[in-house]
Copies of this chain bind each other. A is one copy, B any other.
Amino acid sequence: MIRSTYVDNSRATFGVDLHLDVSGSRRKRALEEALRQAIAQGRLRSGTRLPSSRSLAADLGLARNTVVDVYAQLTAEGWLAARHGSGTKVADRPLASEVSAVMIADAPGSWSHDFRVGWPDLSSFPRSAWLDASRRAWSSAPDAELGYGDPRGTRALREEVTGYLGRARGVRTDASRIVICSGFTQAVGLLCRALHERGATALAVESYGLPETRQIANDAHLAVETMPIDENGALVSSAGAANAAMITPAHQFPLGMAMSPERRHDALGWARSRDALIIEDDYDGEFRYDREPVGALQGLDPDHVVYLGTTSKTLAPGLRLAWMILPGELVEPVARAKRLADRFAPALDQLTLAEFIRSGAYDRHVRRRRLAYRHRRDRLVGALAAAQVEGISAGLQAVVGLPAGVTEAEAIASADESGIALEGLDLYRVGPAAHPPAVVVGFATPPEHAYAAAISGLGKVLAGLSQPHVSVRVRTRAEG
């Protein structure tokens, strides 16, 4: 029981009343902490006069100097106030408000099967190969790599990325024009800031894509226009007065078509004729299954194309490592934006990835993943024989059309009832609707061991949608 209002100079009760437990070997520290707690929790109120150091020391069986030190410490911190001639009091402070827990969902959902878009198979992350690369990278890295570094990133990584992108994606660059970013999201933000600084006012994006791009661009003072997409990819020539057009030529996200040669040509023509930029989001360019991947647009015109790549699909989003290949005149403004955003990407992760690429482990991992995801996509197409799996044989997601009259919300609700996480295409619509209702299946998300059960469950959900009782069931649920 707490009787802080009784506190006065009475040496017999102060410590006991406040439950000051100062036993143990570090009694000075314990007294200090006990007093801090008592004040923080309101047991010792503002203005309360504390016993003299002599009196409290005797009360607690401590040396007087110990109490003097503790009072001085808490006075320095602002918990206590010492006034000449009037002893030590608890300082004025507001009533201690409870430190309230703030609710932001921590955990992923509790579905049996997860087909959400944008996730690779996390169970395939090469943990020990990564740790080994980490250890090797460290054993040779000079101390200076641990200091404040180049905003573009560690040179070792920029050189490895240059080599990798050259051989895997036909990107033409050198290490000086690469900026290592903490993921794709950051890359877009830095680029938008740099473009704005150089006078840009508008960014064109595909009418389907990542919805947050609009807010990122707006935060950097760029207006956002949308470009229509058809079966040949985005119509960049419709980007009008935008200063840059962001596209996913290798594999449209999320619709899944590849940009046709003519459209690629038109896009570059648009950029050249207006001295505008193409921003090539090559988020999953490594994953083409029916043929050799189409090389990056960037290789055709490094002065008009910014290339963005990431490890989020090849390795894991948790790494937060992406790269941006820039025309020469954009390097400095983007590096400056990175410097002001967070100085540079974490050195250890960069060194580890550099070693991971250098040793060949990255190429090997990508190759293995390509085979595994290709197999997954084939099995998905097989399992959903009745439904239409759209897009080219590539990437980590596929759009699946819905039976006539079935809404995306109904499909998602039905999947949810079966313990399956599924996303509707409309989630990725950022311009006028141009596609009938569909779901987007992130077929890389379930772990390998659960994949058979996952696609079988998904197949049942989608097959059930065309039967009338399903929509009744969904409606019932929405009422409940």
Question: When the two chains form the complex, which single residue of B125, B215, B300, B339 contacts A146, counting CB atoms closer than 8 Å?
Answer: B125
Q: Report A245 CB to chain B, min CB distance, Å.
A: 15
Which of A3-11, A178-186, A394-402 lines the interface with chain B?
A178-186
Kindly provide the distance from the CB of A336 to the nearest chain B CB, expressed in whole angstroms.
9
B-binding segment of A76-84, A364-372, A373-381, A464-472: A76-84
Size category of the A interface is 35 or more
- Does A209 make an interface contact (CB < 8 A)? no
Q: Are B76 and A294 in contact (CB under 8 A)?
A: yes
Chain B residues near A475: list those with CB within 8 A.
none
Does the CB pair A342–B342 fall under 8 Å? yes
In the complex, the answer to whether B318 meets A146 with C-beta atoms within 8 Å is yes
What B residues does A272 contact at CB under 8 A? 94
Question: Which of A55-63, A96-104, A415-423 makes up part of the contact surface?
Answer: A96-104
Residues of A within 8 A of B (CB): 36, 40, 73, 75-79, 81-82, 91-94, 97, 99-106, 108, 118-119, 122-123, 125, 127, 131, 134-135, 138, 143-152, 155, 170, 172-174, 176-177, 181-183, 185-186, 189, 193, 212, 215-216, 219, 258, 261, 264-265, 268-269, 272, 291-292, 294-297, 299-303, 316-321, 328, 331-332, 335, 339-349, 447
| A-B pairs with beta carbons under 8 Å apart, 24 shown | A40-B172, A77-B296, A78-B264, A78-B297, A81-B265, A82-B261, A93-B300, A93-B301, A94-B301, A97-B303, A99-B174, A100-B328, A101-B176, A106-B155, A125-B146, A146-B319, A147-B317, A182-B346, A185-B343, A193-B219, A212-B339, A318-B346, A320-B346, A320-B347
